[in-house]
Amino acid sequence: MRTKITLLEKYIILILCVGFMTGVDLKALESENSADSAPEIFLPGIVSTGLDEFDICISPDGNEIFYTVFVDGVGAIITVKNSEGIWSHPEVASFSGKYSDLSPIFHPNGVDLYFISNRPLDNNSVPEKYFNVWVIHKMDTGWSEPKALGSPVNGNWSVGSPHILEDNTLYFSKRIDGKWDGIYRALYKNGMYSLPEKLPLNISFVEPHFFHGHIDPFFAQANFSIAVDGSYLIVSSVKGKGAQGRSDLYIIQRDKDDNWSEPLNLGAAINSREYEISSFLSLDGKFLYYQSSVPKIHIKMDKSVKYPDLKNDLLKPETGSMDIYRINIDKILDLIKH
């Protein structure tokens, strides 16, 4: 008798439980203007649930979403699609679910999708010691087989939080000898990447925590995002100036001479006493998406509760799990002017 279930089966069970227990109405559409003045929970009951969701990215046309869910020390990439105003049920992406996959990000062309994974680089089934950058291409029949990006981006180190600009310039974080070394940039010339250069940033990254013997993906990479024009970074950091909680989001500007500013804390409107990490800047330049673990809904225990009610409450967003929020990016840029 088979008693051990696979990672893919764990995700399917969890996703189905959340979808049915929360009474998700998949016809609910996000408002274009509701996040203009303050952060809003993003697609509650569809993307944001009682699970831990982070590392979101959205296709240029806004109809396809990828993000990471974390279970038992391993990440899997989840996808939802919008067809004629109706969001699909979340599913494990066709290329994910066997190894630990994190940080999906679209190329601005909407055809290429990058992510990091510890999947084997050769034909064996043993996970790699390091996380590498992989890329897949959208075809008429679905997604291509993943292909490792190779040297000089991948190597004897772990790569985190890849982000790519329209000219194929690649930004990523690098972990060397057990510690995050910073954010790197690799230029794309003559069909290949140049030797990555480390950005001169005055920032302290979140170091890994261990959960059930695994590196917790929340802390397994130096999380950041970059504006589509490369003019600024949004970086998660600890112990920075103006820190609000365990990990805050900061903005770092880049000027026309390629100089980077000091980090500026995004303030209490975004940051809380808990973790704010893993941001994403929409390719249309309108919204900042980020993950927060601050509980905003507290389970009432003022009367005797039944187990089904307790379980239903725990599978809702904003109860202390990692949820995805968004805010109009103009509200963030206003901070720079004041």
Q: In angstroms, rounded to a whole number, what is the distance separating the alpha carbons of residues 114 and 17?
A: 29
Structure tokens at 156: 């004897």
Residue 150 above 80 pLDDT?
yes
Rounded average pLDDT over 245-258: 92
Helix or strand or coil: residue 195?
Answer: coil
Which percentage of the chain shows pLDDT scores above 70? 79
pLDDT at 10 over 60: no
Confidence band of 17 (pLDDT split at 50, 70, 90): low
Q: What is the mean pLDDT of the chain?
A: 83
**pLDDT, position 8:** 52
Res 203: pLDDT: 79
Q: How confident is the model at residue 179 (pLDDT cuts 50, 70, 90)?
A: confident
Structure token digits, residue 35: 């996040």
Name the band, by pLDDT with cuts 50, 70 and 90, for residue 121.
very high
Nearest residue to 180 (alpha-carbon basis) of 135, 142, 139, 236: 236
% of the chain residues with pLDDT over 90: 54
pLDDT bucket at 208, cuts 50 / 70 / 90:
very low
Please say if the pLDDT value at position 214 is more than 50. no
Strands lying side by side in the sheet with 264-265: 224-226, 232-237, 248-253, 264-265
What is the CATH code of the structural domain delimited by 7-23+38-337? Answer: 2.120.10
Between CA 330 and CA 285 the distance in angstroms is: 9
Using CA atoms, how far apart are residues 300 and 315, in angstroms rounded to an integer? 15
What's the token pair of residue 238? 């600890």
Residue ranges covered by each domain of the chain: 7-23+38-337
Q: Does the pLDDT at position 296 exceed 80?
A: no
